Amino acid sequence: MNKYLAPHIRTEAKTGHMMMDVLLALVPLGIFSYINYGLRPLIIVLLTMLTAILCEAICCILRRRSLAALGDGSAAVTGMLIGLIMSPMVDYWVPMIGAAIAIFVAKAPFGGFGRNVFNPAAVGVAALTYCFPQQMFTYPAISSVTTLPLEMTLPADSIIVEQSIAAHLQAGAAPALSRTQLLLGDFAGPIGATAPLILVAFVTYMMVRRTASPWTVIPYFVTCVAIAWLFPLSGMGRIYGTVAQVCAGYVLFSGVFLLNDPVTTPRFWLGRLFYGFFTAILVMLLQRIGRVEASSCFAILIMNAVSPIIDRWSWHGLRRLKKLVHRVTGGGVNG
Amino acid sequence: MQLFPRGVILPFQKGKTLMRGVEEMPAPCAVRLPVAMAQAESPIAHLAEDTPLATGQELCRQGDLPIRSPISGTLEGSVVINHALFGDLLCADIQPDGEAEERLPIVPEEELTPESILNIAREAAVYDELDGSPLWQKLQQWKLPQSGRANDCILVADATENDIYGSSAWAVLMEQPRLVLFGLQAAAKALGMSRYHIATLLPRHRRRVLKRAIGRENVYTVEDEYPVTQFADDKLTVYRIGVQACLALGRALKQGICHTSAIVTVAGDGVPAARNIRVPFGTDLSAVLSACQAETDVRLVLGDAMTGTTCPDLHTPLMPGITTVLAMKHQPIRVPKPCIGCGRCAEVCHARLLPYEIVRRLENMHYERLQHLSPADCDGCSACSYVCPAGRDVAADVLKAGEAKGMYLTWGEDDNE
């Protein structure tokens, strides 16, 4: 009967605003990669975003939904994340396949935005890691290039290739980089994952805007740093080893973007805390024993699968604990 | 103090309303006073048509409680109306005429006993605006169980008004603070409680004036968040009554005036200048809206913006328990988007529930697992719906789950609409 339910006034915050906040990352990271590699990385990211949006539109049409659903920006975010995690040398079609997998496999079959179990971007990257490891993990030496050519496939011998930090660490050797170089992102790696200071600044911005929850981000980074500190790698100093491990691979990138996807993380504050904590342990563990650089993507996917359970159990656990405390303290007064 | 404060901070829309003070209706209007449920035998059958009535004159009794004429005029007859909140009601039509007023005999202050205070509260037909029930009944209920624990209990006059538009309690407090305090003291005396105070959220400078008028110890400042959950210090059991009820009780005791009108905040985006206005019970709300120059194509909301009910009919009589009437032009309805799990509903829930999970189980028809999440703890403050970025009616679903009480809901209910 009553179509207009209370409350009769709502906040201005909308789902789209949160996604726009994430899309804003394109500005600093885009400038950073343009300075390093020229236009090529920007084209990669934009093409991936367009593919993701196109795939989302196809899904909307297939599911007889209004195309207005594209306005929430979630497809663009998925595309952007996949694009940012690519090597600047990658062929244009590789991330586009990743975006299509993300939307067609990880998102649409589960019912679209808000219902996906796994983070679509992480699924896309994980699939690419297995299909095209050569393409994904070959990085140009940052000191030797200023502008990458824009052709579809870069000729193999025209560019000096360098190993990423994660590859160095897996080989058990210290990368030949100073600490300043590490912090400023002056090393070979994915388009958007090699700028630690930008990423940390951006996650702070997201926490202030409440797009990212401090309950996940802070435990994640604290645990990552703690593990790197407590279990140092042989052959390098403790502090240097810690910085190198946190900057290596996708550790930072996952903590800033993949970890804060609201759909696949727990929603209760204690659940978020556990989620950040366990993800960090898994990320660091896979970093040490895993074979691929993208280990943090797999860690996130594993944690996505258990996040609803973490969420519920932490809530129930806290309730029970409170009741117990109440009984113990209150019982003394009454009895 | 709580480690993780809950609730939301709502926009403040009351400054200009407060500046105007309490206004009177420009001209007396016809009154349609509900006297009984429609099925019952007409309790005013003994009164002939065209009976002259004075303000406060007894029309009939509902149980022990007298129903008094809110205006002076003539009785025109009775009519059955359909009220959005209370269903079919039998109403007495009264046309305004003259200024006759009937008052109760005044008992000297020093002779007041708990029984005589309760008696006067009943005879003056004082209603508590917090829930629209008779104050006398509430006091009588509270009196029995709490005897002997007077020091653990506190009687609070609730003037928080932490919703978006409502400011009638503040206006009352600013206008007649001493009479409100007197009424509160009398109610506390009737209950045998030694502790009482007025809980309010008045802006700071006005609070200072209030404290100067009635004493610092009688004013308690609540936390500025919606909903307010703490009306007194932690260890006390709080009993809450409305400020207008206190005022009505004070007036009945001191001046013998019966409770026949309410101070109502008329606001909303369809009203150019919101104001607090004194309206006799039973006045047609469309007349109140037009007295406030409200626009015509508006939606009437009984109650404030967070918890009010939309009333499909503008011609609804004012009943005790309504202190805010909104004329809303814009419909906040959006196409609800899927829940993205931002978790803000759980952050603001002062009952510490998981609203998103309750809604999800309701949607997935996991009714048997609903009760683990204790949805019955929800008091319908609507803070979760307010903050939801996807524009979902979270609170309505949680309330639905709470009312189900473990029973299976009707399947396919939505298909019939």
Whose structure tokens read 């004159």?
A: B57
Report pLDDT for A332: 42
CA-based nearest residue in chain A for residue B302: A6
pLDDT band at residue B86 using 50, 70 and 90 as cut-offs: confident
Report pLDDT digits (tens) over B31-66. 999 888 877 788 888 888 888 899 999 988 888 899
Residue B404 CB-half CA count within 13 A? 26
Separation of alpha carbons B355 and B141, rounded Å: 33
CA-based nearest residue in chain B for residue A265: B341
Report pLDDT digits (tens) over B89-136. 899 999 998 888 889 999 898 889 999 999 999 999 999 999 889 999
Alpha helices in A13-116 (DSSP H): 15-23, 26-37, 40-62, 74-84, 93-101
Separation of alpha carbons A175 and A172, rounded Å: 9
Whole-number mean pLDDT of chain B?
87
A64 class by beta-carbon count within 10 Å (0-12 exposed, 13-18 middle, 19+ buried): exposed
| 334-363 in chain B: CB under 8 A from chain A | 334, 337-344, 346-347, 352, 354, 356-357
Residue (of B26, B30, B28) closest to B95 by Cα position: B30
Residue (of B204, B203, B188) closest to B236 by Cα position: B188
Kindly list the residues from chain A whose CB atom is less than 8 angstroms away from the CB atom of residue B299. 4
Q: What does the pLDDT average to over A50-57?
A: 96
Whose structure tokens read 């003056």?
A: B124
CA-based nearest residue in chain A for residue B8: A11
Q: What does the pLDDT average to over A207-234?
A: 92
| CB contact burial A269-285 (16+ within 10 A = b; e otherwise) | bbbbbbbbbbbbbbbbe
**Taking 60 as the threshold, does the pLDDT of residue A220 lie above it?**
yes
**Terminal-residue alpha carbon distance, chain B:** 46
Separation of alpha carbons A242 and A232, rounded Å: 7
Rg of chain A in Å (alpha carbons): 21
Q: Which residues pair with B327 in a beta bridge?
A: B300
Are A275 and A300 contacting, i.e. CB atoms less than 8 angstroms apart? no
Of the candidates B340, B343, B382, which has its C-beta nearest A7's C-beta?
Answer: B382
Give A25→chain B minimum CA distance, Å.
Answer: 19
pLDDT band at residue B417 using 50, 70 and 90 as cut-offs: very low
CB neighbour list of residue B2: distance below 8 Å, 6 or more residues apart: none
Query: Pairing state of beta strands B153-159 and B196-200?
Result: parallel
| 186-225 in chain A: CB under 8 A from chain B | 210, 213
Are B393 and B380 contacting, i.e. CB atoms less than 8 angstroms apart? no
Q: What is the pTM of this model?
A: 0.86
Report pLDDT digits (tens) over B128-150. 999 889 999 999 988 866 556 66
Token pair for residue A221? 């980074």
Q: What does the pLDDT average to over A87-108?
A: 94
Of the candidates A3, A6, A113, which has its C-beta nearest B306's C-beta?
Answer: A6
Kindly list the residues from chain A whose CB atom is less than 8 angstroms away from the CB atom of residue B307. 6-7
Identify the weakest region by mean pLDDT among A263-277, A288-302, B286-300, B394-408.
B394-408
**Taking 70 as the threshold, does the pLDDT of residue A83 lie above it?**
yes
Q: Please check whether the domain covering B109-255 is classified as CATH 3.40.50.
A: yes
Report pLDDT digits (tens) over A159-173. 888 888 888 888 878
CATH topology of domain A15-334: Ammonium transporter fold (1.10.3430)
More confident residue, A57 or A151: A57
Number of neighbours of residue B101 by Cβ within 10 angstroms: 16
Report pLDDT for A49: 96
Residue B374 CB-half CA count within 13 A? 11
| Percent of chain B with pLDDT strictly greater than 70 | 93
Domain with CATH 3.40.50 in chain B: 109-255
Rounded to the nearest 5°, which phi and psi values hold at B201? -130, 20
Rounded to the nearest 5°, which phi and psi values hold at B277? -135, 140
Q: Do B385 and A11 touch (CB under 8 A)?
A: no
Highest mean pLDDT among A167-171, A259-263, B83-87, B151-155: A259-263
Residue type, B353: L
**Taking 80 as the threshold, does the pLDDT of residue B73 lie above it?**
yes
Strand (E) positions, B45-189? 52-53, 58-62, 65-68, 73-83, 87-96, 153-159
More confident residue, A3 or B199: B199
| CB contact burial B168-203 (16+ within 10 A = b; e otherwise) | bbbbbbbebbebbbbbbbbbbbbbebeebbbbbbbe
Query: Where in chain A are the domains?
Result: 15-334
Q: Does B106 touch chain A (CB under 8 A)?
A: no
Please give the ipTM for the structure prediction: 0.85
